[in-house]
Amino acid sequence: MAEETMQFKTELEQLLHLITHSLYSHREVFLRELISNACDAIDKVRFEGLNNEEILEGHSDWKITLKADEEAKTLTISDNGIGMSREQVIENLGTIAHSGTKAFLAKAKEADLENNPDLIGQFGVGFYASFMVADDVTVVTKAHGEPAVKWESKGTGEFTLSDADKTERGTEITLHLKEDATEYLNEWTIRTTVKKFSDFLEHPVVLLTKEKDEKTEIEEEKEEQINTQKAIWLRPKNEITDEEYGEFYKHISHDTNSPAETIHYNAEGAIEFKALLFIPEHKPFDMMMNNDPKAHLNLYVQRVFISNEFDNLLPGYLRFVKGVVDSSDLPLNVSREILQENPMLDKIRKNLTARVLKTLANMKKKDYKEFEIFHENFSAILKEGLQSDWENKEKIADLLLFESTNKAAGEKTCFADYVENMAEGQKEILYLAGENRSSIENSPYLESFKADGKEVLLMIDPIDDFVIPQLMEYKGKKLKAVNKGDIEEDKEKLKDEEKVFEGFIGYAKDLLDGIKEVKLTSRLKDSAAVLVGDEYSMSPHIEEMMRRMGQDVPPRESVLELNPEHAVVKKVQALYAADANDPKVESLTKLLHDQAVIASGAKLSDPAGFAARMNAFLAD
């Protein structure tokens, strides 16, 4: 057959420009695409061989071969797969976005044949990724019973077809690399790219290297397999040891420790995928160095690595989970790099999320000490789910541990145990958030609850004050911050006192800045005064933390509550009743407010003034 020049069956120049410059975000994926196509070609001939043994021609040593020629600046990818006839070359390589694989799958489906292979090259454009790195591409291919064909193009607007000398079935693609792509002639670059994208392919990927014989000093060509083929997640669980799981986890997470828990399962039915997930015991190094708020799993389609930048397979609050998900059903766009949003993806996400939360719940139940270690490392991340995952909010709450007024320092309890041990008649889960236990365990806010024998949860994680209010309730019990809003009080007992203090209360409200109300309270037993915020206001210690980070914090107005039984409160009331203009009334009123500010966890705006007032009080 004489050489023949033909036009591509589309507006090639514009389309190839799109494919080679816009479709893929990383040039290295060209090798993934060509190796994946070669893998498909092998699977096709194996499938056809089930009904036609003659097509195999004794060739069953399946492999994909890579050869770099630095002198010629070419990279060759060859396979012993099904190959193509002249007509198939024109149809598959001469028509952009025509996919022989897709047509083959349709044919196999119509025939309802068993052992239908799952192939990934269903878009017909992966081959043209070659032109991202090559300015000339040559394909030599031979199908069973057909003469060999040579296809060549520079990716402009035409291609040439001619006879070829190839005698064995299969396809050989030679890339004449551009000057800025010669890095792909480097053995290390080839190895790392194959390791990244094609390490777990079913068929061997071999690299041809040259090695000098020590005796003859003659260079000999040597084959070296550079992919492991060990897709551990595809193997039955009972065939995998803990050591193998551990090694694979370390490989994908860069952690030096073994995982705390392993989740390995196959989802079957309406959606089918395989997942191998790991829950770390401690924060892996990459997580300590990276503050990415999104969850990233390694996504594979039929063993071919697609991306670990896709962040929609798990919610962000489970970003500590490492692992792989492999599915042939996910709809990929033509570049295989961006997953389209669809109901199937949502189902996979829900499935994975449920599995992880269930595993953590079992971990808490079966090995509490190990769970405590996990909680210490990842609870702050897990708690983010309280404000982002309404559907699983209570399951997340079940996993949280807190210190408590009923526990020694360092010991923890959970919501379930708290509810079980609630005092008779108690309707709310009481909590107090603060910077650390030592700063809040003797807080004035706790006095009445301690006196009544009611347990209060001490929440000392900085994120608690942001996310716990989002929970709102647990098992029908409302969560109540004891330093915010009103509490149940003996209002009858306060009625007489309020009459006595009425004039002073009005005076104090007018005197003090940032105070929207002054009132008497029975919540205090030993302290003289306390500041109480609105039900959903930010706690003072959070305000201080935000200020230290340079954030603007709007001024807050609090309620100053006074203990009418306290000696200092009685003294200032008596002074006011005797002479409202007595300077000591103003000084003591401000001193009560200063004490309440300190007890709340906030900083005084005028510490020098506080010191002067305190000294005057002590000297009196």
Say if residue 115's pLDDT is above 80.
Answer: no
Measure the CA–CA gap between 385 and 390, rounded to whole angstroms.
8
Give the CA count within 13 Å in the CB-facing half-sphere of 297: 26
Whole-number pLDDT of residue 96: 61
Q: What is the pLDDT of residue 253?
A: 84
How far from the centroid of its chain's Cα atoms is residue 499's Cα?
59
Cβ 580 vs Cβ 511: under 8 Å: no
Point out which residues pair with 208 in neighbouring strands: 67, 223
What's the rounded Cα separation, in Å, for the pair 441 and 409?
A: 10
Beta bridge partners of 484: 533
pLDDT bucket at 329, cuts 50 / 70 / 90: confident
**What DSSP string runs through 320-334?**
T-EEEEE-S-S-B-T
Tokens of 502: 């009425």
- Whether the pLDDT of residue 614 is over 80: the answer is yes
Is residue 94 very low, low, confident or very high in pLDDT (cuts 50, 70, 90)? confident
User: CB count, 10 Å around CB of 470?
Assistant: 15
Distance CA 591, CA 32 (A): 73
Average the pLDDT over 4-8 and give the result.
68
Q: Which of 514, 520, 519, 518 is nearest to 537 (CA)?
A: 514
Fold of 400-481: Rossmann fold (3.40.50)
Average pLDDT (134-139) is 95
Say what the pLDDT of residue 59 is: 63
pTM of the model: 0.77
**CA-angle at 325, arms to 322 and 331, nearest 5°:** 135
Distance CA 309, CA 335 (A): 14
Average pLDDT (420-447) is 90
CA distances from 508 to 512, 575, 582 (A): 6, 13, 14
What is the enclosing helix (H) or strand (E) of 305?
A: strand 304-307
Please state which of the ranges 239-248, 394-403, 527-536, 546-555 shows the lowest mean pLDDT: 546-555
Taking 60 as the threshold, does the pLDDT of residue 229 lie above it? yes
Strand 298-301 vs strand 134-142: parallel, antiparallel, or unpaired?
A: unpaired
CATH 1.20.120.790 fits 491-619, yes or no: yes
What would the pLDDT profile of 375-388 be if each residue is shown by its tens digit?
A: 999 999 999 999 99
Beta carbons of 124 and 98 less than 8 angstroms apart = yes
Most confident of 78-82, 424-428, 431-435: 78-82
| Cα(56)–Cα(48) distance, integer angstroms | 9
Confidence of residue 246 (pLDDT cuts 50, 70, 90): very high
Q: Angle at Cα 317 formed by Cα 314 and Cα 321, nearest 5°?
A: 60
Does position 221 have pLDDT exceeding 60, yes or no?
A: yes
Q: Give the whole-angstrom CA distance, residue 607 versus residue 455.
A: 34
User: Could you give the CA distance from residue 225 to residue 228 in angstroms, rounded to a whole number?
Assistant: 8
pLDDT tops 60 at residue 393: yes
Give the span between the Cα atoms of 280 and 215, in whole angstroms: 51
If you average pLDDT over residues 431-453, what whole number do you get? 89
CA–CA separation, 165 and 325 (whole Å): 43
Cα dihedral sign, 258-242-203-93? negative
pLDDT band at residue 295 under the 50/70/90 scheme: confident
pLDDT at 170: 94
Give the per-residue pLDDT at 507: 95
Q: Does 118 have pLDDT greater than 80?
A: no
pLDDT recorded at residue 340: 54
Residue with tokens 């198939």: 88
Q: Is the pLDDT of residue 526 over 50?
A: yes
Decide if pLDDT at 568 tops 90: yes
307 versus 200: the higher-pLDDT residue is 200
The continuous run of DSSP H or E covering 69 comes out as strand 64-69
On the question of pLDDT at 124 being above 60, the answer is no
**Cross-strand bridge partners of residue 69:** 74
What single letter denotes the amino acid at residue 170? G
The pLDDT confidence band at residue 334, using thresholds 50, 70 and 90, is very low
Cα angle vertex 457, ends 451, 461, to 5°?
Answer: 140
Question: What pLDDT sits at residue 142?
Answer: 95
Please give the angle made by the CA atoms of 512, 515 and 520, to the nearest 5 degrees: 95
- Token pair in block for residue 467: 């996310």
With cut-offs at 50, 70 and 90, classify the pLDDT of residue 505: very high
Question: Which is nearest to 354 in space by CA: 275, 467, 284?
Answer: 275
Rounded Cα–Cα distance for residues 599 and 444 (Å):
7
For the ranges 132-141, 251-260, 595-604, the maximum mean pLDDT occurs at: 132-141
Whole-number average pLDDT of the chain: 85
Give me the percent of the chain exceeding a pLDDT of 90: 49
d(CA 93, CA 6): 11
Average pLDDT, integer, range 459-467? 89
Phi, psi at 326, each rounded to 5°: -130, 120
> 274-278, 412-416, 538-542: which has the minimum mean pLDDT?
538-542
Question: Would you list the domain boundaries of the chain?
Answer: 4-225, 232-372, 400-481, 491-619
| Alpha carbons 473 and 485: distance in angstroms, whole number | 16
3-class DSSP state for residue 307? Answer: strand
Q: How many CA atoms lie within 13 A of 29 on its CB side?
A: 21
Give mean pLDDT, residues 315-329: 91
The domain 232-372 is classified under which CATH number: 3.30.230.80, 3.40.640.10, 3.40.50.2300, 3.30.2000.20?
3.30.230.80
Report DSSP state, residue 491.
H
Q: Residue 481's beta-bridge partner residues?
A: 431
Q: Who's near 37: CB < 8 A, 6+ residues apart? A: 101, 121, 126, 127
Asked whether the predicted pLDDT for residue 191 surpasses 60, the reply is yes
Tell me what pLDDT residue 113 has. 47
How many Cβ atoms are within 10 Å of 578's Cβ, its own excluded? 9
Mean pLDDT on 83-109: 71
- How many whole angstroms from its chain centre is CA 486? 39
- The dotted CATH code for 4-225 is 3.30.565.10
The angle at the Cα of 120, spanning 119 to 124, to the nearest 5 degrees, equals 110
Average pLDDT of the segment spanning 462-483: 90
**Cα–Cα distances in angstroms (integers) from residue 506 to residues 4, 442, 495, 575, in the given order:** 101, 30, 16, 15
**In whole angstroms, what is the distance from residue 560 CA to residue 511 CA?**
12
- Confidence band for 123, pLDDT divided at 50, 70 and 90: very low
Answer yes or no: are the C-beta atoms of 135 and 75 closer than 8 Å.
no
